């Protein structure tokens, strides 16, 4: 093990767990709320599902060898049709159309495709403040410039969005989009909030008015704890409803749903999909990348198609919804009970993997608090400013509930509570009734 690799040590002692944590900075014995990745117990339950789908597909399909060939550019037709049927059911939307779907190697690649093929260097990308920080890094790597937009408890602040849009020169559609708007609309990362129906209508109207492409990271849409379907329809469906009534010559998409199997199956499969209107699909697929390598994740998509068809993906999603729902409820209840009144504000999310905790004392510096948390209490989290352009969230932290089973998470809450009590006692956190 290199010295760098030896810094990444699992919370469990097995070598398998060490391998699973290779990307994650977790010290021995630490409970970490820092990550949006499933713990070992969840992944282990999914292994037999993948095994069964693989056996079924490779044994039962005489044409299974085609999975080892270069794949069709928008994705294997069988998989795409299975995905369309799956989404019609899970989104409760009869309009999901296979011609709007393409396979990706996950939402990170989907966002990268959108940045590469729909934007030009220097173009503005509006992002929520706070937003998923790795998306911001990815956007900046494409030589685009980010512009922060304020957020409320029901997602992006549309008044601020319009103010920022007014400051951006509007391009003629023949020159491309004037700007991109990057959103995590449902059970967002980092705040766990969901954009309301009214705001979704307004956002799509603004996108048409200002010639904006909205890229929705829809990776948490299906991780609703109560009720199988997303609480509000995905933003793409609002745009599609407009486009269905638009004359053929002027149909032009303004919303992309960029989704993934990472959070509803396992991140290691590196499989996702983009749902976008046909004009956008053409821009994303008519590329040197696709011409050279063919459709993305062709073999994996074939196996996932079988998991969709035999119903096992549905069962995995139901199990994850139940596990994450139970964890979130338990963590929130314990936080409320263990942290004294007047110290934090929190909104209990109804889905997804993250909760946002705001210290009422705005002088709290969660970056410094994290250093103490790890050193003295063996607990980790993400400080709020890591998600923020404006750096005005230093008194906030993001807690993720995916990375440990419930009992370990509750031990983590105990440690956070002890940290907070110690900080109140030495005056580094003030109670603000």
Ligand X SMILES: Cc1ncc(COP(=O)(O)O)c(C=O)c1O
Kindly state whether residue 262 participates in binding ligand X, applying the rule CB under 6 A: yes
Are residues 72 and 326 in contact, defined by beta-carbon separation less than 8 angstroms? no
Kindly state whether residue 127 participates in binding ligand X, applying the rule CB under 6 A: no
Kindly state whether residue 155 participates in binding ligand X, applying the rule CB under 6 A: no
Kindly state whether residue 184 participates in binding ligand X, applying the rule CB under 6 A: yes
Are residues 419 and 379 in contact, defined by beta-carbon separation less than 8 angstroms? yes
Kindly state whether residue 272 participates in binding ligand X, applying the rule CB under 6 A: yes
Kindly state whether residue 112 participates in binding ligand X, applying the rule CB under 6 A: no
One residue of 260, 309, 312, 423 binding ligand X per CB under 6 A:
260
Span near ligand X by CB under 6 A; candidates 64-72, 105-113, 154-162, 365-373: 105-113
**CB closer to ligand X out of 178 and 388:** 388
Q: Could you tell me how many residues of this chain bind ligand X (CB under 6 A)?
A: 13
Kindly state whether residue 102 participates in binding ligand X, applying the rule CB under 6 A: no
Kindly state whether residue 325 participates in binding ligand X, applying the rule CB under 6 A: no
One residue of 36, 75, 124, 412 binding ligand X per CB under 6 A:
36
Q: Is the sign of the CA dihedral 146, 222, 403, 415 positive or negative? A: positive
Span near ligand X by CB under 6 A; candidates 87-95, 100-108, 224-232, 326-334: 100-108
For the CA atoms of 177, 183, 186, 190, the dihedral, rounded to the nearest 10 degrees, stands at 170
Token pair, residue 271, equals: 């499989």
**CB closer to ligand X out of 256 and 364:** 256
One residue of 267, 305, 349, 351 binding ligand X per CB under 6 A:
267
Span near ligand X by CB under 6 A; candidates 76-84, 104-112, 239-247, 404-412: 104-112
**CB closer to ligand X out of 91 and 220:** 220
Kindly state whether residue 217 participates in binding ligand X, applying the rule CB under 6 A: yes
**CB closer to ligand X out of 40 and 136:** 136
Kindly state whether residue 189 participates in binding ligand X, applying the rule CB under 6 A: yes
Are residues 346 and 355 in contact, defined by beta-carbon separation less than 8 angstroms? yes
One residue of 32, 34, 108, 211 binding ligand X per CB under 6 A:
108
For the CA atoms of 322, 328, 331, 336, the dihedral, rounded to the nearest 10 degrees, stands at -130
Are residues 146 and 389 in contact, defined by beta-carbon separation less than 8 angstroms? yes
Kindly state whether residue 185 participates in binding ligand X, applying the rule CB under 6 A: no
**CB closer to ligand X out of 8 and 56:** 8
- Partners of residue 32 on adjacent β-strands: 380
Kindly state whether residue 230 participates in binding ligand X, applying the rule CB under 6 A: no
Span near ligand X by CB under 6 A; candidates 15-23, 102-110, 306-314, 361-369: 102-110
Kindly state whether residue 130 participates in binding ligand X, applying the rule CB under 6 A: no
Kindly state whether residue 132 participates in binding ligand X, applying the rule CB under 6 A: yes
Nearest approach in angstroms of CB 216 to ligand X is 10
Kindly state whether residue 219 participates in binding ligand X, applying the rule CB under 6 A: yes
List of residues contacting ligand X (CB under 6 A): 36, 106-108, 132, 184, 189, 217, 219, 260, 262, 267, 272
């Amino acid at each position: 093990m290199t010295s760098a690799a030896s810094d990444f040590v699992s919370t469990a002692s097995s070598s398998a767990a060490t391998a699973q944590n290779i990307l994650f900075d977790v010290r021995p014995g630490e409970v970490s709320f820092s990550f949006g990745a499933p713990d070992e117990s969840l992944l282990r339950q999914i292994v037999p599902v993948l095994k069964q789908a693989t056996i079924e597909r490779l044994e039962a399909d005489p044409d299974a060898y085609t999975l080892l060939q270069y794949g069709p550019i928008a994705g294997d037709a069988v998989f795409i049709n299975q995905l369309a049927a799956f989404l019609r059911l899970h989104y409760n939307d009869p309009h999901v159309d296979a011609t709007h779907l393409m396979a990706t190697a996950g939402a990170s690649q989907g966002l990268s495709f959108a940045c590469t093929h729909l934007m030009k260097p220097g173009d503005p990308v509006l992002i929520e403040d706070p937003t998923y920080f790795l998306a911001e890094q990815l956007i900046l790597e494409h030589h685009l410039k980010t512009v922060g937009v304020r957020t409320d408890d029901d997602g992006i602040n549309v008044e601020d969005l319009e103010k920022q849009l007014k400051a951006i020169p509007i391009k003629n559609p023949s020159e491309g989009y004037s700007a991109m708007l990057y959103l995590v609309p449902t059970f967002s990362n980092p705040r766990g909030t969901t954009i309301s129906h009214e705001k979704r209508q307004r956002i799509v109207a603004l996108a048409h008015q200002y010639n904006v492409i909205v890229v929705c990271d829809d990776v948490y849409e299906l991780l609703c704890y109560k009720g199988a379907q997303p609480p509000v329809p995905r933003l793409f469906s609002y745009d599609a409803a407009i486009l269905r009534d638009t004359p053929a010559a002027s149909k032009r998409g303004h919303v992309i749903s960029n989704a993934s199997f990472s959070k509803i199956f396992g991140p290691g499969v590196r499989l996702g999909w983009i749902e976008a209107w046909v004009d956008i699909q053409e821009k994303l697929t008519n590329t040197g990348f696709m011409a050279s390598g063919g459709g993305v994740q062709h073999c994996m998509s074939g196996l996932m198609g079988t998991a969709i068809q035999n119903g096992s993906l549905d069962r995995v999603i139901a199990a994850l919804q139940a596990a994450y729902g139970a964890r979130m409820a338990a963590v929130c209840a314990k936080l409320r009970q263990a942290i004294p009144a007047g110290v934090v504000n929190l909104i209990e999310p109804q889905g997804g993997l993250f909760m946002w905790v705001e210290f009422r004392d705005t002088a709290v510096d969660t970056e410094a608090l994290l250093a103490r948390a790890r050193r003295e209490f063996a607990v980790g989290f993400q400080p709020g400013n890591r998600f923020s352009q404006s750096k005005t969230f230093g008194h906030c932290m993001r807690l993720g509930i995916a990375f440990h089973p419930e009992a370990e998470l509750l031990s983590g809450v105990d440690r956070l509570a002890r940290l907070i009590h110690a900080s109140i006692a030495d005056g580094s956190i003030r109670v603000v009734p």
